[in-house]
Amino acid sequence: MTIETDDYRDVWVFVEQHDGTAAPVSWELLAKGRELADETDESLVALVMGDDVSDLAEEAVARGADRALLADDAVFEPYRADPYGEQFRALVEARKPSIVLIGGTHTGRDFAGRVAVPAHAGLTADCTELAVDDEGLLLASRPTFGGDAMATIKCPAHRPQMATVRAGVFDTSEPTESDVERAAAVEEVEVVVAEEDALSTVLERVVSDVVDITDADVVVAGGAGCEGEVGPIVELAEVLGGEVAASRAAVDEGWIEPARQVGQTGKTVRPHLYIAAGISGAVQHLEGMNDSDVVVAVNTDPNAAIFEHADYGIVGDLHEVLPKLTELVREQQEVAA
């Protein structure tokens, strides 16, 4: 199957939202999409799907989209793969975007394939770098083999060029001053899916306020060395005004919730200070913390790999080191106050 790639233009960004709240990665992608659209001299289009979410479409325009497409219908809340995929696919077929960016969240990775497969589009998963080459071809790069290598994926003969992109790797876009034309840049599109055609039903949805560790200035992360006792991690994070995070080991053991996992299967963080406590330093974890400005490692094993990837390291039990550190920070804060 050959297609006329020239028929496809514009950069689309999917604005993921749940219960009317946008996922932070949506605005990160919008900022990156703006750069790509400027380079290819195309329009940046935000795609907003949900129930009563016209405000998000307007916000997308305020954050830099040239236009927003709004599919507003009760069938889109809560999220389900088949209505989202079908609606998105219909829009892609009708309007032929060249590049489509979707957050590499569970939601984004759940439905991106339902667009890419029927469109026979190229889909690159979980990217951490995006660029366009001289011909306007998307260069989607992703870590491979546990982060030891970066593979750059191209999609020369198929459109759209789709990518899911990991949260936290790009800076977010900020809304600009109120713009009277904003609402005019929102186009409500025809909803092509109906409830009776849906293949699945959400019986129950239990979510709490999702912590966003990708935004934190200070992150204190615990690993297997916690041995079930995360108190010292929480206290140090608190006193430093930071967020608690975890390696996969601590999440798998159920000590720290999955939303706080840093690494290949978790999130990418970019704090000023990252304290890795009881974390051995598997490459999958390093991948999620490599963008930190300063890394501190606390581990009982002097040969742990984490020390090779830390600015400051101390050999010791986190259950002894962290409380002392917390105490010292507290003392200093009291002096300052």
Partner 1 sequence: MNDGWNIVVCVKQVPDADDVTIDPDTGTLNRSGAPAVLNRPDHNAVESALALRESVGGTVTAITMGPPPAKAVLQTAVGVGADGGVLLTDRAFGGSDTWPTSLALARAAAELDADVVICGEESTDSSTGQVPPGIAAHNGWSQLTYVESLDPQPEDGVLVGKRDVEGGYERVAAELPVVVAMEFGANRPRPAGLHRKIFAETEFEPVEWSASDLGIEDRVGLANSPTKVGGMDTATPVERERIRVESVDELYEYIAEVR
Residue 20 vs 78, nearer CB to partner 1: 78
Residue 184 makes contact with partner 1 by CB under 8 A: no
Residue 114 makes contact with partner 1 by CB under 8 A: yes
Q: Is 242 helix (H, G, I), strand (E, B) or coil?
A: coil
35, 43, 81, 191: which one contacts partner 1 (CB under 8 A)?
Answer: 81
Residue 96 vs 114, nearer CB to partner 1: 114
- Of 35-43, 68-76, 170-178, 196-204, the segment contacting partner 1 by CB under 8 A is 196-204
Residue 335 makes contact with partner 1 by CB under 8 A: no
Give dist(CA 33, CA 36) in Å, integer. Answer: 5
Contacts of 19 (CB under 8 A, 6+ apart): 77, 78
Site for partner 1 in 298-317 (CB under 8 A): 307-316
With beta carbons less than 8 A apart as the criterion, state whether 247 and 289 touch: no
Residue 106 makes contact with partner 1 by CB under 8 A: yes
Residue 204 makes contact with partner 1 by CB under 8 A: yes
Give dist(CA 23, CA 12) in Å, integer. Answer: 16
DSSP 156-178: SSSSSEEEEE-TTSSPPP---S-
For partner 1 (CB under 8 A), the number of binding residues is 87
22, 23, 90, 102: which one contacts partner 1 (CB under 8 A)?
Answer: 23
Residue 8 makes contact with partner 1 by CB under 8 A: no
Residue 265 makes contact with partner 1 by CB under 8 A: yes
Site for partner 1 in 149-178 (CB under 8 A): 149-158
Give dist(CA 59, CA 81) in Å, integer. Answer: 24
170-to-31, 114, 167 alpha-carbon distances in Å: 8, 25, 8
Residue 125 makes contact with partner 1 by CB under 8 A: yes
Residue 66 vs 257, nearer CB to partner 1: 257
Residue 206 makes contact with partner 1 by CB under 8 A: yes
Tokens of 34: 């703006």
Give dist(CA 286, CA 237) in Å, integer. Answer: 20
